[in-house]
Structure 1
Amino acid sequence: MSTRSVGVVGDESVAELLRDDDWTVECRTDGSVPGTDFVLAVGQRAFASVARAVTDSVVLPIDAGRGVRSVPRDSVRKAVGSLADARTERHHTLSVVRGDERVGEAVWDVTLVTEDAARISEFGVETPTDTIDAFRADGTVVATTAGSSGYARRAGAPVLSPSPIVAVAPIAPFATNPDHWVVPIEELTLTVERDEATVTLLIDDTPTGTVDRGEPVTLSPAGTVRVAVVDESRPRFT
């Protein structure tokens, strides 16, 4: 790097650690992103805020999950010192529209789930050209590559490498041998096919209201975030 300057989002103590090593650090804890070439995002919440921001910075995730190959906190000093030689991966985010209203941007995943786990509903998944499936379940989750090692993995979906694709999985399906799907991020529509139970829409695990029967939840490309990968980055698949 031409200068010893980085940004930090999410944890002042990491900024102080780097200042002790004579780095110039611009720290943010208010949701904004420093205007530096490299930004350290400490924790999943900080990484998500940086990923949603309009920024050209390369992001080094710190303790932000395996899906983005984050660096353990105790390896921050060494990882920052090797940023000049880092390679980058691009992770894609999802625009979420319920009906005609844009309700958010997903960095990790989008979930439709019944409020009462003891009651199942029926969910439909389709693209502009194909009906993928309709199934009875407690819900369905669509995960980005960054989120594919999280809840979607526990629901049976595969872990994905960074690319413009998503993983789709039923949650607690009624079928004994359910399918899971990997599809391109172009446009994906989720619907509730029955009104037997109240269904909640969650974006990155945050509830954003309910979804009525037949009301489309449309997912489409929103943006990308460049993630730095260094020797200290955790492996994605193990």
Structure 2
Amino acid sequence: MSSGAPVVGVVGEVDDDLADAIEDAGGQVRTGTAEAVVADAPDVVVAVGEPATLAVARQRPSMPVVPVDAGRGLRSVPGAAAVEAAPSIVAGEWTTESHPLVAVELDGERVDCALLDVTLVTSEAARISEFAVTARATHVGQFRADGVVVATPAGTPGYARQVGTPIVAAETGVLAVAPIAPFATNPDHWIVGDERITLTVERDEADVTLFADDRSVAPVPPGETVTLTTERSVTVAVLPASRPRFP
């Protein structure tokens, strides 16, 4: 950590008790938007809630991130334990886990990044289109479905699990891919390396939208390519109070 009192950035719903506990433990607190806090270059960032954690991840932080109540995909500290964990946060008493941040390009132009998952989905419920998946220039599959999801290890305990992917351990270098509501009785699911994946819409049958984590990004016309690459990783600080990823 930096010389002097450690600087702890806090993003999200900042509890006065948490801020006071950080200062009582000898830390300096910096609050604000994810962009402002990460730009301030604190020693560590505490992100309270999943939206705040995703917002911090989009800033591609170089410092560790402590997620608080951030869902099952990350080793996050329960909200009720955050104040108690403040001395460990200030003292740097943690181990780390690395989670890939996936860069999203649409037709060759970078449009977003994702920590949990990327989906293509038809804009109207129960409207089927056709999708193709390629990994490292190898054709993986083609199917008719409402959409397709590509999940990082952190994203596999969430929506991806609901559509059939396994939960993937952190730091394995793979992504999970699954069709959404496929027009098939025994659909395939895939585990692929996270170096480069492309998704395409093969038919002009329904409007399709690209989502990155919790955000609607852009419509995807037939024939345009969505390319996913791991651009860097987010370092998650795992404290003793953190929940396991696999309860």
Aligned partner of residue 39 in structure 1, secondary structure: strand
Who is 1:81 aligned against?
Answer: 87
Aligned partner of residue 48 in structure 1, secondary structure: helix
How far does residue 19 in structure 1 lie from its aligned partner after superposition?
A: 4.8
CA displacement 1:202-235 (0-9 Å, x = unmatched): 1113112211111111111122111011221111
Who is 1:217 aligned against?
Answer: 226
Who is 1:62 aligned against?
Answer: 68
How far does residue 20 in structure 1 lie from its aligned partner after superposition?
A: 6.3
CA distance in 2, matches of 1:201, 1:54: 21
How far does residue 179 in structure 1 lie from its aligned partner after superposition?
A: 1.3
1:7 to 6, 9, 24: 9
8 Å CA contact 1:113–1:200 kept in 2: the answer is: yes
Q: Unpaired segments of 5 or more residues in structure 2? A: none
How many residues matched? 238
CA RMSD across the alignment: 1.9
The yes-or-no answer on 1:184 pairing with 2:193 is yes
Distance 1:19 1:236, change over 3 A: closer
Q: Unpaired segments of 5 or more residues in structure 1? A: none
1:93 to 93, 101, 104: 101
How far does residue 21 in structure 1 lie from its aligned partner after superposition?
A: 3.1
Q: After TM superposition, where is structure 1 displaced by more than 6 Å over at least 4 residues in a row?
A: none
Distance 1:234 1:151, change over 3 A: same
After superposition, residues 124-135 of structure 1 pair within 5 angstroms as 124-135=132-143
8 Å CA contact 2:99–2:170 kept in 1: the answer is: yes
Who is 1:38 aligned against?
Answer: 44
8 Å CA contact 2:116–2:155 kept in 1: the answer is: yes
Task: Using the TM superposition, name which of 105-114 and 1-10 deviates more.
Answer: 1-10
How far does residue 194 in structure 1 lie from its aligned partner after superposition?
A: 1.1
How far does residue 16 in structure 1 lie from its aligned partner after superposition?
A: 3.0
CA distance in 1, matches of 2:223, 2:199: 9
Aligned partner of residue 138 in structure 1, secondary structure: strand
1:141 to 133, 143, 149: 149
How far does residue 4 in structure 1 lie from its aligned partner after superposition?
A: 5.2
Distance 1:151 1:211, change over 3 A: same
CA distance in 1, matches of 2:20, 2:156: 31
| Paired amino acid for 2:24 | D
CA distance in 2, matches of 1:132, 1:88: 33
| Paired amino acid for 2:29 | V
8 Å CA contact 1:52–1:223 kept in 2: the answer is: no
Q: TM-score, normalised by structure 1?
A: 0.92
How far does residue 54 in structure 1 lie from its aligned partner after superposition?
A: 4.0
Distance 1:212 1:54, change over 3 A: closer
Aligned partner of residue 66 in structure 2, secondary structure: strand
CA distance in 2, matches of 1:35, 1:4: 11
8 Å CA contact 1:18–1:25 kept in 2: the answer is: no
Q: TM-score, normalised by structure 2?
A: 0.89
Who is 1:27 aligned against?
Answer: 31
Name the % identity. 49
Aligned partner of residue 66 in structure 1, secondary structure: coil
Aligned partner of residue 35 in structure 2, secondary structure: coil
Distance 1:184 1:102, change over 3 A: same
